[in-house]
Chains A and B, each alone.
Chain A
Amino acid sequence: MSVLAYLIPVALFLGGISLIAFLWALRSGQYEDLDGAAQRILLDGEETGDKPAIR
């Protein structure tokens, strides 16, 4: 049963990391435009949101 001493903390740690990752993504506004995110993958080239180099 001593294996539990590793496994439980490991499981919780990994789960916790994904939880923190989600909360971070939420806070940085990545869930604010889901439709847009799905479409933006089709845009090639540099990110257009910030000032692009004039082509």
Chain B
Amino acid sequence: MSCCAPGSEDLALGLQAPPSDEEVAFAARDMGDGTRQVELSVPNVHCAACIHTVESALARLDTVERARVNLSSKRVSVRWRGDALPPIVSTLSSLGYPPHLFDDAQDGKDPVLSELLRAVAVSGFAAGNIMLLSVSVWSGAEGATRDLFHWVSALLALPALAVAGIIYYRSAWNALRHGRMNMDVPIAIGITMAYALSIYDTWHSGAHAYFDASVTLLFFLLIGRTLDHVMRNKARAAVANLARMAPRGALVLFDDGTRDYRPIGEVQPGTKLLVGAGERIPVDARVVHGASDIDCSLVNGESAPQPVAAGAEVHAGALNLTGPLTLEAVRAASSSFLAEMIRLMEATEGGRARYRRIADRVSAMYAPVVHLTALVAFIGWMLTGADWHQAITIAIAVLIITCPCALGLAVPMVQVVAARRLFENGIMVKDGSALERLAEADSAIFDKTGTLTLGQPRLTNMHEIPPRLLDVAQALASHSRHPLSQAIAQQARRSTSATFDDVSELPGFGMEARTGGIVWRLGRASWAASASEENGTVLTRNGDIVARFTFADEIRPGARSTIDTLKKRLRRVEMLSGDAEPACRQVAEELGFDHWRSNLLPADKVSRIEELSGNGHKVMMVGDGLNDAPALGAAHVSLAPASAADIGRNAADFVFLHGNLSAVTTAMDVALRAGQLIRQNLGIAIIYNLIAVPIAILGYVTPLVAAIAMSGSSILVISNALRLMRMGITEKRVAPKATKPATEPLRA
């Protein structure tokens, strides 16, 4: 697809192979009528032509009944007849749309959104029609006509209250039952009281009825709530679409030589497993046969790939790079490293559990004040000799006019706009409270591997290597999945002319090739030049070292400037890594970290965060690995790159899809600005109330006044929120480095 730039979500795919057919078949659901269906994420789908290519190619497969692309969620759902899986993965990969499985509990439909949309539709219909009738009343309808209009309004308002109001009743009841107060409590009380009073007045042919106020209020608030939900859903779906990294099953090798793909829960200690190159290790295991290199960067932050051979122990979650391995499970999935991290996460009570959202804090103050004012107004009017009906009318007018509307919209509207702003910059935010917490952060902790660095090695001495030898090395390296080989192959980028008669890879050691009588070897020095005592990576010609390669983990673009900015803004910026000391020192010096620690266990990171929190710091954690997940959960607010491990992504409040680390400062800028606008909006709502409440208490509020006041304040609050769209973000996102041409769609 030449029309479509591949999304930078590709960064997340990294070295991982597309899911195996067994894994896809395992993820499929039985639809009951002899067909099965699976949903796959295809991040490269961007336009109509992509839809057509994907759908028609899949539909042409023999047993496929139906293939449908959802462009909004970038997913394709495929349904086929029979038990055998059609070659979906290979078809899509060959078209340049590598699919992957994603992590999502729900299958496409979103019941909450449907409920909200239904509620918006019903309340919108009711509000429109009631307003139509109310305008007639305001412009002078009298007597029987007015009563008729009021009765019709009452009838129209009933379904709105039932379908739309229930959302607020439920939420208000939930809050009250747990002894809390939220914004929905005054809203629920306000609309119900207004409706009840209006029914009473209509019964007695009263001049004023507040049906319009109570339904319009619902309508406006629901719009805000729906937008909020849509925005969060979009962010959540974008995160869920990222490739699932932890395998859900494993290829089990039975004693009689048969193999079968089994769910991971069935793997017991002692079970033999087969793990191909490019797959992740499903459970903690010991290598029985085979040799390979293991990338542990997601597991413990070690940046250099580790060679493994028979007898070595490997952790669940590590990526098998070069050769197929036969493993024997040491622990069941429920007690493997991943499960341990999840337990550690559950044990740490995060800062967010104690955090109360601004809206809830405001409503906790606001609701008692308003209800008290209404009560005082009622008693006051009773004392001055008004009849109880008039006193109640005024009390309810106070409840309605104090307008949870402006307050109810003040916070969510800003957060919707902020979330949208972040979304455009490739940053997904999980919920509104995350924005509030990010604005409060005063210290930052970074993980090293995969966060400050890309977790991919970079060749540092390319210019020292003679071009002729670089050609040979590149040609050799292009046959391997090992990260060091890929670094050489990608960085050299020469049109190489070197050809070999025979190329082979020795997992754990390197590449070997023959051409004529010459044997070239690229790999571990101790193997390539057999007698050598050297460490590191070399190219040898018939056993003599002809070139040495040095590598460094590539610093994530934007890291330097981000750290500089944060050091100016925050009280403390630290780097905590599970990697070895020299690698950490190098990165820390390059990026200018004053405080850093190496060789940390996951629990050490958590305790460091708790120590800082104990000293009154609000810690922002940025990390990606399995070993960072507990720390991400413990921090006041947390961010993770798209390439992070599954549980890390789920634990983080923000996930940034683009490779550039400036996402951290962008998110902070937006969060700070959003915080300002929220406070302004709350200020507007308070000033409005200071004017409106006296008018209501004096008894001058008719339904017309209430309608004008409510719409006016809502519009004010919404337009103020929209100012966030115009805010200039200082540092425009730099396009992520094209490190992944391999995932670029192959043809149009």
Once A26-B118, A35-B72, A52-B56 are accepted as A-B contacts, the answer to whether A19 and B51 lie under 8 Å apart by CB is no
Asked whether B60 lies within 8 Å of A49 as measured between CB atoms, the reply is: no
Chain B hits for A52, CB < 8 A: 56, 59
Asked whether B129 lies within 8 Å of A32 as measured between CB atoms, the reply is: no
Interface presence of B84 (CB below 8 A)? no
Residue in B closest to A37 when the chains form the complex, CB atoms = B71
Once A33-B73, A49-B68, A50-B66 are accepted as A-B contacts, the answer to whether A15 and B129 lie under 8 Å apart by CB is yes
Asked whether B117 lies within 8 Å of A31 as measured between CB atoms, the reply is: yes
Interface presence of B48 (CB below 8 A)? yes
Residue in A closest to B159 when the chains form the complex, CB atoms = A19
| Interface range for A | 20 to 34
Asked whether B59 lies within 8 Å of A48 as measured between CB atoms, the reply is: yes
Residue in B closest to A34 when the chains form the complex, CB atoms = B72
Asked whether A39 lies within 8 Å of B128 as measured between CB atoms, the reply is: no
Interface presence of B676 (CB below 8 A)? no
Interface size for B (C-beta < 8 A) is: 34
Residue in A closest to B46 when the chains form the complex, CB atoms = A39
Instruction: Among B56, B108, B156, find the residue whose CB has the most chain A CB atoms closer than 10 A.
Output: B56
Asked whether A43 lies within 8 Å of B52 as measured between CB atoms, the reply is: yes
Instruction: Among A18, A26, A48, find the residue whose CB has the most chain B CB atoms closer than 10 A.
Output: A48
A36, B133: Cα distance in complex, Å: 39
Asked whether B145 lies within 8 Å of A4 as measured between CB atoms, the reply is: yes
Chain B hits for A27, CB < 8 A: 114
Q: Indicate which residue in B71, B125, B148 contacts A39 across the interface (CB closer than 8 Å).
A: B71
Once A26-B117, A48-B55, A54-B60 are accepted as A-B contacts, the answer to whether A36 and B71 lie under 8 Å apart by CB is yes
Once A15-B125, A51-B64 are accepted as A-B contacts, the answer to whether A26 and B114 lie under 8 Å apart by CB is yes
Asked whether A36 lies within 8 Å of B59 as measured between CB atoms, the reply is: no
Interface presence of B121 (CB below 8 A)? yes
A17-35 interface bits toward B, Cβ cutoff 8 Å, 1 = contact, 0 = none:
0110011001101011111
Once A11-B129, A15-B128 are accepted as A-B contacts, the answer to whether A35 and B121 lie under 8 Å apart by CB is no
Residue in A closest to B60 when the chains form the complex, CB atoms = A54
Asked whether B129 lies within 8 Å of A51 as measured between CB atoms, the reply is: no
A39, B47: Cα distance in complex, Å: 6
* CB of B635 to closest CB in A, whole Å: 34
Asked whether A49 lies within 8 Å of B47 as measured between CB atoms, the reply is: no
Once A16-B125, A36-B72, A48-B52 are accepted as A-B contacts, the answer to whether A8 and B152 lie under 8 Å apart by CB is yes
* CB of A18 to closest CB in B, whole Å: 8
A16, B380: Cα distance in complex, Å: 44
Interface presence of B69 (CB below 8 A)? yes
A1, B148: Cα distance in complex, Å: 12
Interface presence of B122 (CB below 8 A)? yes
Q: Which of B61-104 contact A (CB under 8 A)?
A: 64-73
Once A32-B108, A33-B73 are accepted as A-B contacts, the answer to whether A40 and B129 lie under 8 Å apart by CB is no
Chain B hits for A50, CB < 8 A: 59, 65-66
Asked whether B65 lies within 8 Å of A51 as measured between CB atoms, the reply is: yes
A7, B658: Cα distance in complex, Å: 57
Residue in A closest to B70 when the chains form the complex, CB atoms = A33
Interface presence of B132 (CB below 8 A)? yes
Q: Indicate which residue in B51, B132, B156 contacts A48 across the interface (CB closer than 8 Å).
A: B51
Asked whether B117 lies within 8 Å of A12 as measured between CB atoms, the reply is: no
Residue in A closest to B61 when the chains form the complex, CB atoms = A51
A47, B133: Cα distance in complex, Å: 45
Residue in B closest to A18 when the chains form the complex, CB atoms = B125
Residue in B closest to A48 when the chains form the complex, CB atoms = B55
Asked whether A26 lies within 8 Å of B121 as measured between CB atoms, the reply is: yes
Asked whether A12 lies within 8 Å of B51 as measured between CB atoms, the reply is: no
Once A1-B145, A40-B48 are accepted as A-B contacts, the answer to whether A22 and B129 lie under 8 Å apart by CB is no
Pairs A–B under 8 Å by Cβ, sample size 22: A11-B132, A16-B125, A19-B121, A23-B118, A26-B114, A31-B117, A32-B72, A33-B73, A35-B71, A35-B72, A36-B51, A39-B47, A39-B48, A40-B51, A42-B48, A48-B51, A48-B52, A48-B59, A49-B66, A50-B66, A51-B59, A52-B56
A residues within 8 Å of B by Cβ? 1, 4, 8, 11-12, 15-16, 18-19, 22-23, 26-27, 29, 31-36, 39-43, 48-52, 54
Task: Give 6 nearest A-B pairs by CB, closest first.
Answer: A36-B71, A42-B48, A39-B48, A48-B55, A35-B72, A35-B71
